[in-house]
Amino acid sequence: MAWETINENVTQQSDLTQQELEHALREWARGVYSQMAGVELLIKHGRAVYPRAPWIGTDTQGFAWIDCESLITESGAYSGGERRLFAIAASLIDGLSIRLNDAVTGLDHANARLVLDAIATAAGFAEPTISFERDPQAPPRS
């Protein structure tokens, strides 16, 4: 394939549905535990993966990928806890350096569980080895 065609495919973003986008990102990360963990963390978070997100690259062939630097720099409208979760995901996907003690501080229960699941996945476990029950006194996740 000529370079011009590749460049044209990348610059013309496709209009993937939510389901197609999630599938394409999982395909992109397949086979690399840490990338799979980071992608699943973002998908399961529920607000980070959506069509035309500025940190998700797509092309006209239906391929998709995460631009981790954009994920960090373009996520300013999200809460501090969500930005910390994104930093953890970026670290898993692309090896961006973070201070884990800073990143986990202030995560709510639901996001902390997502992060623990992602770390277990990155370590090669299909299912986390520990299980947490939802605190019945915890406020509902919005």
User: What's the pTM?
Assistant: 0.78
Task: For residue 109, give the nearest of 76, 72, 142 by alpha carbon.
Answer: 142
The reported pLDDT for the residue numbered 11 is: 40
- DSSP E strands in 25-134: the ranges are 56-58, 64-66
The reported pLDDT for the residue numbered 8 is: 44
CB atoms within 10 A of CB 20: 15
pLDDT in tens, 60-86: 888 999 999 999 999 989 999 999 999
- Whether residue 44 contacts residue 110, with contact meaning beta carbons closer than 8 Å, is answered with no
Lowest mean pLDDT segment, chosen from 26-30, 39-43, 111-115, 138-142: 138-142
Q: Over 50: is that where the pLDDT of 122 sits?
A: yes
pLDDT in tens, 5-23: 334 444 445 688 999 999 9
Residue 97 exposure: Cα atoms within 13 Å on the Cβ side? 0
DSSP letter at 59 equals -
Alpha-carbon torsion angle 87, 90, 92, 98, nearest 10 = -40
With residue 76 as reference, give the H or E element that holds it. Answer: none
Q: Over 90: is that where the pLDDT of 93 sits?
A: yes
Mean pLDDT of the chain: 83
DSSP letter at 31 equals T
